């Protein structure tokens, strides 16, 4: 079958909308017609993964409607609305233990560019296209996916505002819900208020965390963070950012999330922690950082990373949708819609005042 996709041919060129051929779903797969898909920083970083000049289809926050179901698939029907998330094998030790974000095959399944058997779901003129990104490659009008990375949602779900729950919103909110688990009287600081950061702010407020501080260089993004629940904001460029954060959190935060992957920001995040506080890193980009080990040991601080907010998508996504329905997760305030054909404009503004671009089909 023929469909349209946004093709990337390298880290620095524009996406181009082109026709591609997509396989029929195998017995253990689903064919999904995309209604929307989020644009995530990971999509842009990953443009350098395929061989330079090779056609690739990225996109990993897809939302759509099931068009056909493989004969071996249970729990899905044609016409179901679904949100798409990360791929996992479902059989390794960590998957079996309920930790699929740490699947032993995570790298190959999510950024290998093929199905597990090495085949591609997409082709052009008979030649394979780098695909199956996060098990979906949702920068296209159709996607072949595994039932393990699709979550059926209510027929009345707005798939446009819900699309980022498959990754960006899941990562931010999941880190708060699954990793930090703050109590209402605690304090939480978020460095970087893009899609991941604002989701963390919204989740913290949904859990009634008393003090939620957002740190960002952008005045516009700090204003959005305030609108969705931050009790205070701080300019990340302020020379006394750590002192301000300690004042706002009563001597140091109980929890800090860094989404920036900027070493200087991570250093400030660590110093803003109070004794026994926890810093969680989710941003990709800084392979090495330096920390004051005397402070780490003497204050009993913890530093750890998280993939996808340690989330089981089939559990967290319904919770986020319930919060949204109750007005406690106001994603409408942070999503900006762009027609699929305007993908390059969406990418261009994704690091500015637009917090979360979502492409619509």
| 78-137 pLDDT per residue, tens | 999 999 999 999 999 999 999 999 999 999 999 999 999 999 999 999 999 999 999 999
Beta strands of the chain (E only): which ranges? 2-7, 16-22, 30-38, 62-69, 81-84, 122-124, 127-129, 142-145, 150-153, 187-191, 211-216, 232-235, 253-258, 273-281, 302-305, 335-339, 356-360
Identify the weakest region by mean pLDDT among 45-59, 244-258, 313-327: 45-59
* pLDDT per position as a tens digit, 191-228: 999 999 999 999 999 999 999 999 999 999 999 999 99
- Across the range 230-245, mean pLDDT stands at 97
Q: Is the pLDDT of residue 230 over 90?
A: yes
pLDDT at 223 (0 to 100): 96
Q: Is the pLDDT of residue 144 over 80?
A: yes
Fold of 2-157: Quinone Oxidoreductase; Chain A, domain 1 (3.90.180)
The pLDDT mean for the chain works out to 96
Q: Strand, coil or helix: what is 320?
A: helix
Q: Enter the DSSP assignment of 217.
A: S
Fold of 169-309: Rossmann fold (3.40.50)
pLDDT at 134 (0 to 100): 97
pLDDT at 45 (0 to 100): 81
Q: Can you tell me the distance from the alpha carbon of 8 to that of 46, in angstroms, rounded to the nearest whole number?
A: 10
**Predicted confidence band at 284 (pLDDT cuts at 50, 70, 90)?**
confident
Structure tokens at 241: 């950012």
Q: List the domain boundaries for the chain.
A: 2-157, 169-309
pLDDT at 183 (0 to 100): 96
- Across the range 278-303, mean pLDDT stands at 91
Fold matches, 2-157 and 169-309: no
- pTM for this prediction: 0.95
């Amino acid at each position: 079958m023929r469909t349209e996709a946004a093709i990337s041919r390298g880290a620095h060129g524009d996406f181009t909308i082109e026709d591609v051929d997509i396989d029929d779903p195998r017995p253990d797969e689903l064919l999904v017609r995309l209604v929307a898909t989020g644009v995530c920083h990971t999509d842009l970083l990953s443009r350098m993964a395929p061989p330079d000049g090779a056609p690739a289809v990225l996109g990993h926050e897809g939302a759509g409607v099931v068009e056909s179901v493989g004969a071996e698939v249970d729990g899905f029907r044609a016409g179901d609305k679904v949100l798409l998330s990360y791929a996992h094998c479902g059989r390794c030790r960590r998957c079996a233990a309920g930790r699929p974000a740490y699947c032993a095959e995570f790298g190959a399944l999510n950024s290998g560019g093929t199905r597990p058997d090495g085949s591609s779901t997409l082709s052009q003129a008979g030649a394979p296209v780098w695909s199956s990104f996060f098990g979906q490659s949702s920068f296209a009008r159709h996607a072949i996916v595994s039932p393990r990375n699709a979550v059926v949602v209510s027929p009345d779900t707005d798939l446009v505002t819900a699309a980022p729950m498959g990754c960006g919103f899941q990562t931010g909110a999941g880190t708060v819900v699954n990793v930090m688990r703050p109590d209402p009287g605690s304090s939480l600081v978020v460095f970087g208020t893009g899609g991941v950061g604002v989701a963390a702010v919204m989740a913290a407020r949904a859990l009634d965390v008393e003090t939620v501080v957002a740190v960002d260089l952008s005045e516009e993004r700090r204003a959005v963070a305030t609108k969705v629940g931050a009790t205070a904001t701080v300019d990340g460029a302020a020379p006394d950012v750590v002192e301000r954060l300690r004042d706002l959190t009563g001597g140091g935060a109980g929890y800090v999330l860094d989404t920036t992957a900027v070493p200087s920001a991570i250093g400030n995040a660590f110093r803003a922690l109070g004794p026994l506080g926890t810093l969680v890193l989710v941003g990709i980009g800084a392979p090495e950082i330096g920390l004051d080990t005397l402070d780490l040991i003497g204050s009993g601080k913890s530093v750890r990373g998280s993939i996808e907010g340690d989330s089981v998508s089939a559990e967290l996504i319904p919770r986020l949708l319930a919060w949204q329905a109750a007005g406690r997760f106001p994603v409408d305030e942070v999503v900006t819609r762009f027609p699929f054909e305007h993908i390059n404009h969406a990418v261009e503004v994704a690091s500015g005042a637009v917090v979360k671009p979502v492409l619509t089909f």
